[in-house]
Chain A
Amino acid sequence: MVPVSYYLILSAILFSIGVGAFLIKRNIITIFMSIELMLNAVNLSFVAFANYWNQINHQFSGQIFVFFVMVVAAAEAAVGLAIIIALFRTRKTLNVDQVDLMKL
C-alpha cells in the first residue's frame, strides 16, 4: 500500500507548480493551464483522502467532489477561453503584460 502521504506530497508539489506558473508565466493560455493544474492537484488530494477515509469510516465524499470539480473545470475552461477570444479580438495579444489599459 502506498502511504497516503506520498499522494499528498505529490499533490502539494503539483499545486505549487501551478501557483508558481500562474505567477511567472506571461502567456494567458499558459496561466490558464496552470489553474487547471492546480485544480487537478486538488483532485488528487481528494481521491487520496477519500481512499484513506473510506477504510476508516466509509466517508468517501472526496470522490464525489472530484466529479464536480471536473465539471466545474470544464465550465471554467469554456468561459475562460471565450473571454480570452474576446480579449484577443480587441487587443490582438495574449501577453498579460500588454493587457494593461487599466492600472493603479
Chain B
Amino acid sequence: MNGSMTVLRILPEIIFTLTGVAIMLIDPVMPKQASRKPLGWLAAFGALAALIASLYQYSLPVGTAYFGVVQTDAFSVFFHVLISGIILVSALVVLDAVHPDTESLGELFALMSFGAVGMLLMTSGVELLLVFIGLEISSISTYILAGFRRKTAKSPESALKYFLLGSFATAFFLYGIALTYGATGTTRITDIAAGLATSHALPIAVVGLAFIVIGLAFKVSAAPFHLWTPDVYEGAPSPIVGLMSTAPKAAAFAVLLRIAYEAFPQLQNHWMPLLWILAAVSMTIGNLGALRQKNVKRMLAYSSIAHAGYLLVAFTVLSTDGVAAASFYAVAYAVMNVGIFAVISHAGGYEDRLTLIEDYKGLAYRSPLLGGVMAFFLLSLIGIPFTGGFFGKFYVFAAAIHSGMIWLAIIGLLNSGIAVFYYLRVLTATYTKPMDSSPVLNVPRVSAPLCLAMALTVAVTLVLGIIPGRVLSMARHAAETFPVFSTQQTPVPGTASAVMAAINTKAR
C-alpha cells in the first residue's frame, strides 16, 4: 500500500491525537500553579491545523486506507471540516470563559482533542467496528466533560444521566450491529448492501437496523429518545454544551446518513417511515417543550431536539437533495448553536451565573456587542432571511415538498412558527432595560479569543445566509458520494440541485 497516502487519509485524526497527547505530556510537568492557558491555545492551534488538513483532504482522490476501514470522500471530508471548525471555536470559547486556574483544565483540552478524534473517525469510518470505536471515544470524552465541575451538585448529576443513557444507547447500537452482521456476514458498511441482497435472514437485518436507528436517535437526541438532553445541558458547563450539542450530533447524523443510504438502501421502506415519525415527533416535542422553559440552557436543549427533527426531515427525502439539505442544515445549526453558546458562556461564565431568561435582562445595554451577537444568533435560529438558519430550513422543506412529504413539511413549518415565540422571549429580555439588581451587571470584558470565536461563527452564518452556493455545492458533492444516487434526476426548481445548476451555468 502507498504509505504516505494512507497517512494523509487520516491526517486530521492524527493531528488531533498528537495535540491531545502533547497536552497530556505537558500538563503534568507544568508547575501546579501555572496558568493552563497555553494548553488551550495548543488545542486551538491543533484544531486549526486539523481544519486545514481537512480542507486539504478535498484534493485527495476518493479512496480507502488501512485495509479499507477509513474512507476519504467528499462526505467524510465535509463533516471533518465541520467538526474541526466546531472544536476550534469551542477551544476559543473555553479559553475565554474558564478561569485559567480551574482544576485540571489541561485535561479538559486533552479530552476535547481526543473526543474530536472519535467524531472524525465516525464520519470517515466505513467499517462498523471503527464507527463504534469512534462513537465511544467521542461519547466517553463528552461524559467526562459534562461532569467537569465535579464539586457542584448539578454537574455530576448531568454527567451521570448522560453516561447512563448514553451507554444504554450504545448497547442498542451495538446489538444492531451484531444483528446486521448476523444477517449479512459483514460489518463493512459498503458491503452490507450486497450482503442484504443475498441474505436469508432479512427480518434479523430489519431488527438490527431498528436497533441502530434507536441507538443513534439517542445520540442525536431525537424524540422520543430525548429525555436526557435538557438535564444534561442544564448541568454541564456552558462552554462544553456548545461543543456537545453540535459536534457529536453532527458525527452521529453523518453515521446515520451513511448507514441508511449506503448500507440499507434496500430497506428504505422500513426506515423511511421510522425516520418520518422521529422527525415529526422531535420537531413537535422540541418546540412545545421549549415554550415552557424558564432556563435558557434548557430552552436551547429543547430547541436542539427540534432542530434534530428538522434535520431528520431531510433524511426522509431519499434523494441527493435530501442528503445535501441535511448536510447543509448540520453546518448551519452547528455554527449558530456554537455561536450562541459562546455568548452564553461568556455572560454566564463557567460557574453559570445567569440561568433564567430574566437573568439576561439588559445584556444588550450592559454590552452592546454581546447583546447584538446574541440577537443575531437568535434570529438565525428562528430562520430569518440573510442568516444560515433561513437557508437551512428552506432547503430542507423545499426538498421535502418536492419528494411529496407535504405533511411533514407542514408540521415543520408550523413548528418553525411556534419556535419564534420562545426565541423572541430571550431576545426581548436581552433588550429590556436592566434593573439595579440584575445579575447581568457584572459581565466580564470581552476577551480576544471570544472575539475571534464570535467573529468566526457570525461570519460563517452570514456566508451561509447570503452566499450559500459554495457550501451548498460542497454539501451536494458530499451527497453524491452515496452510490444510490448515481442515476441523476433533472433539477427541480427551488431545490438545492436547481441552485447548483444555476451556479454552474453562471460559472461557465
Q: What's the interface size class on B, roughly?
A: 35 or more
Given contacts A22-B168, A80-B167, A90-B153, contact A68 B129 (CB under 8 A): yes
User: Which of B154, B156, B175, B185 has a CB less than 8 Å from the CB of A42?
Assistant: B175
CB pair B153–A91 under 8 Å, yes or no, is: yes
CB pair A99–B157 under 8 Å, yes or no, is: yes
Contacts of B388 in A (CB 8 A): none
Which residues of B (134-181) have their CB < 8 Å from a CB of A? 136, 140, 143-144, 147, 150-154, 156-161, 163-164, 167-168, 170-171, 174-175, 177-179, 181
Q: How far is the CA of A94 from the CA of B192 in the complex (A)?
A: 43
CB pair A57–B185 under 8 Å, yes or no, is: yes
**Known contacts A62-B178, A79-B144; can you find 20 more A-B pairs with CB under 8 A?**
A15-B171, A35-B164, A46-B181, A53-B181, A57-B185, A64-B129, A65-B187, A72-B133, A76-B136, A76-B140, A76-B163, A79-B140, A79-B143, A80-B143, A83-B159, A87-B159, A90-B150, A91-B153, A101-B157, A102-B157
Q: Is B186 on the interface with A (CB-CB < 8 A)?
A: yes
Contacts of A45 in B (CB 8 A): 175, 178-179, 182
Q: List 5 A-B contacts (CB under 8 A).
A: A28-B160, A41-B175, A61-B129, A75-B140, A102-B157
Residue of B nearest to A61 (CB): B187
Q: Chain A 15-59, CB within 8 Å of chain B: the 1/0 string? A: 100100010000010011001001101100110110011001101
Q: How far is the CB of B174 from chain A (nearest CB, A)?
A: 5
Q: Is A2 on the interface with B (CB-CB < 8 A)?
A: no
CB pair B234–A102 under 8 Å, yes or no, is: yes
Contacts of B352 in A (CB 8 A): none
Q: How far is the CB of A7 from chain B (nearest CB, A)?
A: 10
User: Which of A46, A49, A56, A102 has a CB less than 8 Å from the CB of B230?
Assistant: A102
Given contacts A68-B129, A102-B157, contact A15 B181 (CB under 8 A): no
Q: Is A104 on the interface with B (CB-CB < 8 A)?
A: yes
Q: Is B132 on the interface with A (CB-CB < 8 A)?
A: yes
Given contacts A53-B185, A72-B136, contact A65 B164 (CB under 8 A): no
User: Which of B133, B153, B167 has a CB less than 8 Å from the CB of A35?
Assistant: B167
Contacts of B161 in A (CB 8 A): 99
User: Which of A57, A61, A80, A101 has a CB less than 8 Å from the CB of B163?
Assistant: A80
User: Which of A48, A56, A72, A101 has a CB less than 8 Å from the CB of B153?
Assistant: A101
CB-CB nearest 8 A-B residue pairs: A38-B171, A87-B156, A49-B182, A45-B178, A86-B150, A86-B156, A102-B231, A53-B185
Contacts of A87 in B (CB 8 A): 156-157, 159-160
Given contacts A52-B182, A76-B167, contact A39 B174 (CB under 8 A): yes
CB pair B171–A35 under 8 Å, yes or no, is: yes
Contacts of B231 in A (CB 8 A): 102-103
Contacts of B140 in A (CB 8 A): 75-76, 79
Q: How far is the CB of B170 from chain A (nearest CB, A)?
A: 8
Q: How far is the CA of A65 from the CA of B174 in the complex (A)?
A: 10
CB pair B175–A15 under 8 Å, yes or no, is: yes
Q: Is B46 on the interface with A (CB-CB < 8 A)?
A: no
Q: How far is the CA of A104 from the CA of B161 in the complex (A)?
A: 14
CB pair B171–A39 under 8 Å, yes or no, is: yes
Q: How far is the CB of B318 from chain A (nearest CB, A)?
A: 29
Q: How far is the CA of A64 from the CA of B187 in the complex (A)?
A: 11
Q: How far is the CB of A35 from chain B (nearest CB, A)?
A: 5
Q: How far is the CB of B21 from chain A (nearest CB, A)?
A: 17
CB pair A83–B156 under 8 Å, yes or no, is: yes
Q: Is B235 on the interface with A (CB-CB < 8 A)?
A: yes
Q: How far is the CB of A62 from chain B (nearest CB, A)?
A: 6
CB pair A42–B160 under 8 Å, yes or no, is: no
Contacts of A41 in B (CB 8 A): 175
Contacts of A32 in B (CB 8 A): 164
Contacts of A59 in B (CB 8 A): 185-186
Residue of B nearest to A77 (CB): B167
Q: How far is the CA of A32 from the CA of B153 in the complex (A)?
A: 20
Residue of A nearest to B234 (CB): A102
User: Which of B151, B167, B182 has a CB less than 8 Å from the CB of A90?
Assistant: B151
Q: How far is the CB of A99 from chain B (nearest CB, A)?
A: 5
Q: How far is the CA of A46 from the CA of B136 in the complex (A)?
A: 18
Q: How far is the CA of A69 from the CA of B135 in the complex (A)?
A: 12
Q: Which of A8, A39, A59, A86 counts the most chain B CB atoms within 10 A?
A: A86
Q: How far is the CA of A49 from the CA of B230 in the complex (A)?
A: 38
Q: How far is the CA of A102 from the CA of B147 in the complex (A)?
A: 14
Q: How far is the CB of A81 from chain B (nearest CB, A)?
A: 10
Q: How far is the CA of A86 from the CA of B162 in the complex (A)?
A: 14
Q: How far is the CA of A59 from the CA of B195 in the complex (A)?
A: 12
Q: How far is the CA of A90 from the CA of B187 in the complex (A)?
A: 43
Which residues of B (279-335) have their CB < 8 Å from a CB of A? 289
Residue of A nearest to B195 (CB): A59
Q: How far is the CB of B115 from chain A (nearest CB, A)?
A: 12
Contacts of A64 in B (CB 8 A): 129
CB pair A56–B185 under 8 Å, yes or no, is: yes
